[in-house]
């Protein structure tokens, strides 16, 4: 019988780098010839992905699956919570919508999930040489330990050794390590077999006395000190940095409206690869400036976000940008917002049945109870390029004007009905909406679109042969760079002994 091996990555807090370091371990183990699968029992995120079966899961485990050279599976993330308001979340179980619940309802229901989580984990374990398990938040959140199946509760289910990740960049790293361990009961402290200090800037020599002291205090070895790095990865922990960091101005300025319930901001990572392009997120109420392109992104609560947009100065800002010549794009919920009307007859999202949109596209969206979740591929109508991506939406959008062209002629739709077309194009492509998440990951399409902007601005075009590679090819190389960095700054032999492998 195959020996079942696993390791769990937990953190002293959120945003310490658990997702990325889990991905690094997945790629290191995979490159060494092991059959690896990632697992996270519960994710809370507005960024999700659709598997080939049409099931929804969190993007962090998609990243880790890709690092493991695996097709993403909902088994890797059986529970996904997608906030729909300040108090409620859509609860997705094994890739399908279960219900909308507030925190009290969910915590009352949570104990019934533990055995199901255990069953799903063991099913995945049977298919693996090693499972790399990611925790959530911190195991020291002592108000959440009852019925826990995300951190130490999950380590108990899997009988997993735990690696604790701490972020030195935010300060107080040694206190956070010691404090986290102190707040654990002894049986859980015993599970922690090593610590990784992440996001380090400076001299390891100066840090070493602190490492020696924390090892003495906790009796837990520091397995590695990972230098601060930035890579274009689709990790949840990097979301705050990606949304707020300032970038050097480029020749093409793309402004993305940061909606309150914005989802799938990973749609825009690939734009950063294109020459002379600046991508910036603009909060509601902030001045838009003079962008070349305005993008309204996906939304988990389209009607709420439309109301918030209408109540802010950004509403008129988008209209003014359009009048002054900016191109306008809407993706998924943003596509719905671009239209004239949004109708929710069964009150799927809010108590409002009817909402007016921006009116820049002559389309109507009608919400339906069933969510559309598909992998989609086809050819775009603007440039004749092959495109692929995924759809996650509860609305059906229809053009009111038969003269409006669709954006994509669909050739394949895995997980849903093949109905021919996606999206709507107006004003010769100056405005378009689409349900296709990941459309910019298709480099030839994106380069052709950006060349339209370059021509208008009198800039030289970029030949298709000189355009960046498709984003999924680029990401695969990033995983190797990540693995190289972590492997060079970690005691790999000790890590493998902790897992139960021969180094």
Which residue numbers are catalytic? 332, 437
* Per-position b or e across 439-460, b if 16+ CB within 10 A of its CB: bbbbbbbbbbbbbbbbeeeeee
Please name which of 431, 450, 462, 459 lies closest in space to residue 326, comparing C-alpha atoms.
431
CA-CA distance, 422 to 151, in Å (whole number)?
A: 41
Residue whose C-alpha is closest to residue 477's, from 486, 469, 467, 488: 469
Q: Are 135 and 12 in contact (CB under 8 A)?
A: no
- Provide the token pair at 309: 């947009």
The three-state secondary structure class of 373 is: strand
365 phi and psi, to 5 degrees?
A: -110, 130
- SS3 at position 9: strand
Asked whether the beta carbons of 436 and 412 are under 8 A apart, the reply is no
State the residue for tokens 């390791």.
7
Closest Cα to residue 82, out of 300, 353, 397?
A: 300
Read out DSSP for 279-292? EEEEETTS---S-S
Rounded to whole angstroms, the Cα distance separating 16 from 194 reads 15
Distance between CA atoms of residues 321 and 329, nearest Å: 12
Return the DSSP state at 94. Answer: T
Measured CA to CA in angstroms, residue 443 lies from 273, 385, 426, 439, 464 at distances of 9, 10, 22, 9, 9
Cα atoms found within 13 Å of the Cα of residue 434, Cβ hemisphere only? 31
Residue 369 near residue 346 (C-beta atoms within 8 A): yes
How many Å apart are CA 26 and CA 30, to the nearest integer? 6
The CA distance from 459 to 238, in Å, is: 33
Instruction: Provide the CA 3 distance to its chain's centre, in angstroms.
Output: 32
């Amino acid at each position: 019988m195959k020996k079942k091996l696993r390791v769990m990555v937990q953190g002293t807090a959120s945003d310490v780098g658990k997702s990325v370091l889990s991905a690094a371990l997945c790629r290191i183990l995979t490159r060494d010839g092991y059959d690896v699968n990632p697992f996270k029992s519960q994710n809370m995120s507005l960024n999700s992905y659709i598997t080939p079966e049409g099931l929804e899961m969190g993007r962090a485990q998609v990243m880790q699956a890709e690092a493991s050279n695996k097709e993403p599976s909902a088994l890797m993330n059986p529970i996904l919570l997608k906030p729909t308001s300040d108090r409620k979340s859509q609860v997705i179980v094994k890739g399908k919508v279960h219900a909308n619940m507030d925190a009290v309802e969910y915590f009352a229901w949570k104990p019934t999930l533990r055995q199901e989580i255990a069953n799903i984990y063991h099913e995945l374990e049977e298919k693996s040489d090693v499972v790399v398990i990611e925790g959530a938040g911190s195991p020291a959140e002592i108000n959440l330990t009852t019925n826990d199946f995300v951190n130490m509760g999950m380590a108990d289910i899997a009988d997993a050794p735990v690696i604790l990740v701490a972020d030195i960049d935010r300060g107080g790293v040694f206190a956070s390590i010691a404090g986290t361990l102190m707040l654990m009961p002894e049986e859980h402290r015993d599970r922690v077999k090593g610590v990784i200090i992440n996001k380090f800037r400076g001299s390891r020599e100066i840090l070493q006395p602190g490492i020696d002291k924390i090892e003495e205090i906790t009796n837990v070895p520091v397995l590695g000190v990972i230098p601060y790095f930035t890579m274009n990865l689709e990790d949840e922990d990097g979301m705050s940095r990606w949304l707020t960091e300032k970038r050097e101005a480029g020749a093409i300025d793309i402004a993305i409206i940061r909606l309150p319930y914005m989802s799938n901001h990973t749609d825009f990572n690939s734009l950063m690869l294109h020459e002379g392009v600046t991508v910036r997120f603009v909060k509601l109420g902030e001045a838009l400036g003079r962008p070349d392109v305005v993008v309204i992104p996906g939304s988990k609560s389209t009607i709420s976000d439309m109301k918030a947009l209408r109540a802010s100065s950004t509403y008129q800002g988008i209209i003014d940008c359009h009048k002054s010549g900016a191109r306008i794009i809407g993706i998924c919920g943003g596509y719905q917002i671009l239209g004239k009307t949004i109708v929710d007859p069964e009150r799927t999202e809010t108590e409002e049945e009817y909402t007016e949109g921006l009116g820049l596209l002559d389309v109507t969206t009608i919400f339906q109870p069933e969510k559309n979740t598909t992998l989609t591929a086809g050819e775009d109508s603007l440039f004749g390029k092959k495109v692929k991506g995924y759809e996650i939406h509860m609305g059906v959008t229809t053009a009111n004007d038969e003269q409006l062209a669709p954006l994509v002629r669909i050739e394949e739709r895995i997980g849903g009905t093949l109905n021919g077309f996606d999206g709507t194009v107006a004003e010769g492509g100056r405005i378009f909406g689409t349900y296709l998440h990941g459309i910019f990951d298709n480099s030839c399409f994106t380069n052709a679109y950006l060349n339209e902007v370059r021509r208008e601005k009198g800039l030289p075009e970029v030949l298709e042969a000189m355009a960046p590679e498709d984003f999924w090819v680029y990401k695969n190389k990033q995983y190797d760079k990540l693995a190289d960095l972590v492997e060079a700054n970690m005691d790999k032999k000790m890590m493998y002994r902790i897992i139960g492998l021969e180094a």
